[in-house]
Structures are given as C-alpha cells and as structure tokens.
C-alpha cells in the first residue's frame, strides 16, 4: 500500500517485504534472536530487518504506530478465535445430535428445582443443549462481525499526514472496512471484552451440562456412564469412578469470569486515547481462548463417550408422581372440569398415594373415583411415563417424533452452514 501510494519507492518496498518474509521464517523456525536491549517486538523486528536489507529498514515504520499495529493484530487474533469457537461448538452440537437421535425414545425424568417434574426423553434433553450452544455460536459470530474493522492507519491516535489507503489495507487483512475514528481505533478494547463475555456465557453453559454429567454418572442417579478417558479412580477407594473432566469444566467458569472482570476493570475510567494499561488486555484473552478451546473439546469427547441406561432412565421417570400433571390435563381436556378443580383433585390423589407408599398408577380406579367421579379407566392410562412423554407433541415438545424432527432440522442446518 505504501508503495502504491508513492509513500515508499518500489525498490525499498520490495526489500522490506523480502526481509520481513525472512524474519517470519526465522521466527517460525525458532532461529530469531530476540534482544532484551531492544524495547519490544517491533524494535527487534526492525533491527533484524536492518541487518538483512540495510538503510531501507528505517522506512518500515512510515505512517504507522505501535498503537494501531497492536490494535490491528489483536483484532485479527481475536477474530480468528471467534471462528475457532464457532467451529468447536459446531462439533459439540454434532455430538449432541448423535445422542439425541440415539436416545429419542429413552424416557427419563425431567426436573424443576432438581425435583422430579414430568417425563421427558433423553433426546429432548440433548436437544435443549443444542439450542443453548447454538446461541453461543450466534454470540461469537456477532462479536466477530462487530470487531471486523481495521484500526491500521490510525497511527498513534490522530491519523497520519501521509496519503495512506486504509480501505486497501483493510481489504488485505480481511476486514470489512477501516475504523472511522482514529482515537477510537487505537483505544477501543470492547471487542476483547465482548469476546470474553461470549466466552463466559459459553463456559457457564458448558458448566451446566458438566454438572448434569456429574449427577447422571453418580451412584444415586445411575442415568449414564463415562469411560476411563474422562474419569479417574480414587487413590484409596477402588470402587469409585470420578467424573474429573466434567468437574474441571465446571471449575473453569470461575477462571473465564475472572478474565472478563479483570479486563472490564482495566477499561473502567480509562481516558482516551492510548494508555499503558491496555497492555494488560492480552493475558486474560489468551488464557480464556485456551480454556474455552480445551473445555469445548473435553465436553465434545464426553458427550460422544456418554452411555445412557434406558432401563434406569425409565424407572426414574416413573418415580416421584411424574405423571400427575398428565392426570390433571386429562381431567381438563376430556372431563371438561376447570383446571383449578382438576389440580386440586390430583393433589389429593398424590397425598393418598404418599400415605399408601405407592405410585399414582398403583391406585385403583375406585380409589381415584372416590376423589373425583370424572376419573375413568382411560384416565388411569395416562399415568404411564412413556405414554406421557409420547403425548407431548406440541412444537418444541419432548415427544420422540418432535425430537427427531428437531434433530433432522439441525442436521440440515449443519450441512448448509446456516446456523
């Protein structure tokens, strides 16, 4: 660009380009000698360039500043990380879809307040996380599109008197356009904060799934098992298989949240334009990128490895009066009585079953009719957990037919890249 604009002559521009390619090779091969006597990476590169090409190296810094160079490089790096996060999350969604299709018919308890609520399907539960992580993809993509403006050419903060072509350099570096204000260009770090925000939400979502894996694989639940790749034994208790990978993902939430708060605190009350405080932006972002990538990879591996127990899931789904709502719904839909009256009648039957230490389905029709004359043999049939799950055919419902439709829709989204 400098040569095209007549700011450098072609001979010097060619020499600088060839010298920089040599330096890139030296750095990548580990042969570049860094000197602590020089102030920073910029001065190290320029000094080595002078050793290679001589006096023209002094023109390298024309019409630019470390401020706009670092801001540009940092945006490119985080932009690449948002794309990596999208790619990794896409792999996790594909693994969840495999589980959803495999267990579309497996009936399990759905919970509210971690109390048994209503029967759902394993596939439906997996699809809930598909939707959750898809929103994470949307946040990373949104952040990536907003940060995709080039600071290069803003120089230190006020722009430059040289006739630079900022549109050309923006295109060369894959940006949508140059940033419109030179002060904002060198001092903005909200793009980094936004990446950290998306990462913090994503890791929190990963932590929710990790916690469920911890519960599901415990001896109290026994809903599923994990293999040795993602668990460890106890040093003293030979019977134990600890879900270490899930627990570590759960803990990483604090690490990423800490990085977000750290950078927000750095930016708080920071006057325009550049201040050395901004040097504290990198460490938090680099650590978060590593943590996020590792966490998504570990979760993807666990989802692929997770083996649900259909018999145990169904048994648990039949406990805790999970079909009480189905009886209430039947009284409203079929018998035509008001919801509040139906709710009250079902509550009385639950208390009766508790007193007898049995399930609702274990009560006789006569017992039920003593509470509500509207109950028939047909009503007793809705108390089956599998039938309950299969009946929830509303859009987004837990019925296996809906789960398969949702999974097919997502398969097509992944195939077309439209998600």
Quote the CA–CA distance of 304 and 96 in Å, as a whole number: 8
pLDDT for 238 equals 63
Q: Does residue 239 have a pLDDT over 70?
A: no
In angstroms, rounded to a whole number, what is the distance separating the alpha carbons of residues 314 and 317? 5
Q: Are 153 and 68 in contact (CB under 8 A)?
A: yes
| Higher per-residue confidence, 298 vs 337 | 298
Q: Is 113 a catalytic residue?
A: yes
153 by DSSP, 3-state: which?
coil
Contact between residue 104 and residue 403 where contact means Cβ atoms under 8 Å apart:
yes
Residue range 38-63: average pLDDT? Answer: 95
Q: How confident is the model at residue 378 (pLDDT cuts 50, 70, 90)?
A: confident
- Close Cβ partners of 13 (under 8 Å, ≥ 6 residues apart): 2, 3
- CA distance linking residue 164 with residue 172, whole number of Å: 14
Contact 127, 138 (CB under 8 A): no
Q: Which of 25, 218, 234, 275 is catalytic?
A: 234
- 313-317 long-range Cβ contacts below 8 angstroms, 24+ apart: 313/106, 313/107, 313/108, 313/109, 313/122, 313/223, 314/106, 314/107, 314/108, 314/385, 314/386, 316/108, 316/109, 316/116, 316/221, 316/223, 317/107, 317/108, 317/109, 317/119, 317/120, 317/385, 317/389
Judged against a pLDDT cut of 70, whether residue 17 lies above it is answered with: yes
Give the active site residue among 113, 235, 364, 394.
Answer: 113
pTM: predicted TM-score of the whole model, two decimal places: 0.90
Report the SS3 class of residue 50. helix
pLDDT tens digits along 181-228: 999 999 999 999 999 999 999 999 999 999 999 999 999 999 999 988
What does 354-375 look like in DSSP terms, one character per residue? Answer: HHHTS-GGGS-HHHHHHH-TT-
Q: Which two tokens stand for residue 328?
A: 């209430």
Q: Which long-range contacts (CB under 8 A, 24 or more apart) does 207-213 make?
A: 207/249, 207/250, 207/252, 207/253, 208/132, 209/129, 209/299, 210/246, 210/247, 210/249, 210/250, 210/299, 211/246, 211/250, 213/243, 213/246, 213/302, 213/306
The span from the CA of 124 to the CA of 355, in Å, is: 33
Tell me, what's the pLDDT at 76? 98
Question: Which pLDDT value is given to residue 305?
Answer: 96
Torsion angle of alpha carbons 331, 334, 335, 338, nearest 10°? 60
Q: How many CB atoms lie within 10 A of CB 347?
A: 14
Range from 239-243, 247-251, 294-298, 307-311 carrying the lowest mean pLDDT: 239-243
What average pLDDT does range 335-362 have in this prediction? Answer: 89
35-60 average pLDDT score: 95
Give, as one character, the DSSP assignment of residue 414. H
pLDDT at 235: 64
């Amino acid at each position: 660009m400098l040569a095209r604009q007549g700011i450098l002559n072609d001979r010097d521009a060619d020499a600088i380009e060839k010298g920089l390619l040599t330096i890139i090779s030296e750095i990548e091969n580990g042969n570049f000698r860094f000197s602590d006597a020089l102030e920073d990476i910029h001065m190290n590169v320029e000094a080595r360039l002078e050793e290679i090409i001589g006096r023209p190296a002094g023109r390298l810094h024309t019409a630019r500043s470390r401020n706009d160079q670092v801001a540009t490089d940092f945006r490119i790096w985080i932009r690449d990380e948002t794309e990596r996060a999208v790619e990794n999350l896409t792999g996790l969604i594909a693994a969840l879809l495999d589980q959803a299709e495999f267990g579309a018919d497996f009936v399990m308890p759905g919970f509210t307040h971690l109390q048994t609520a209503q029967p759902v399907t394993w596939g439906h539960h997996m699809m809930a996380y598909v939707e959750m992580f898809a929103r994470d993809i949307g946040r990373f993509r949104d952040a990536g599109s907003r940060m995709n403006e080039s600071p290069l050419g803003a120089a230190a903060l006020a722009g430059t008197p040289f006739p630079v072509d900022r549109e050309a350099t923006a295109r060369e570096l894959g940006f949508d356009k140059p940033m419109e204000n030179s002060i904002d260009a060198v001092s903005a770090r909200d793009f980094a904060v936004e990446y950290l925000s998306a990462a913090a939400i994503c890791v929190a979502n990963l932590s929710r799934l990790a916690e469920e894996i911890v519960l599901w694989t415990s001896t109290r639940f026994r809903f599923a098992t994990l293999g040795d790749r993602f668990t460890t034994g106890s040093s003293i208790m030979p019977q134990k298989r600890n879900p270490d990978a899930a627990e570590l993902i759960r803990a990483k939430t604090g690490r990423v949240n800490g990085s977000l708060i750290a950078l927000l605190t750095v930016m708080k009350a920071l006057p325009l334009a550049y201040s050395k405080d901004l040097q504290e932006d990198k460490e938090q972002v680099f650590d978060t990128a590593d943590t996020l990538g590792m966490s998504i990879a570990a979760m993807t591996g666990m989802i692929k490895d997770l083996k649900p127990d259909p018999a145990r899931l169904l048994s648990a789904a039949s406990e805790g009066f999970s079909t009480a709502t189905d009886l209430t719904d039947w009284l409203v839909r079929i018998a035509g009585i008001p919801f509040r009256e139906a709710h009250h009648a079902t509550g009385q039957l639950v208390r009766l079953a508790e007193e007898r230490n049995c399930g609702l389905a274990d009560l006789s029709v006569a017992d039920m009719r003593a509470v509500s004359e509207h109950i028939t043999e047909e009503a007793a049939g809705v108390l089956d957990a599998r039938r309950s799950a299969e009946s929830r055919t509303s859009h987004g419902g837990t019925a296996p037919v809906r789960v398969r439709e949702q999974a097919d829709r997502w398969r097509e989204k992944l195939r077309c890249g439209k998600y």
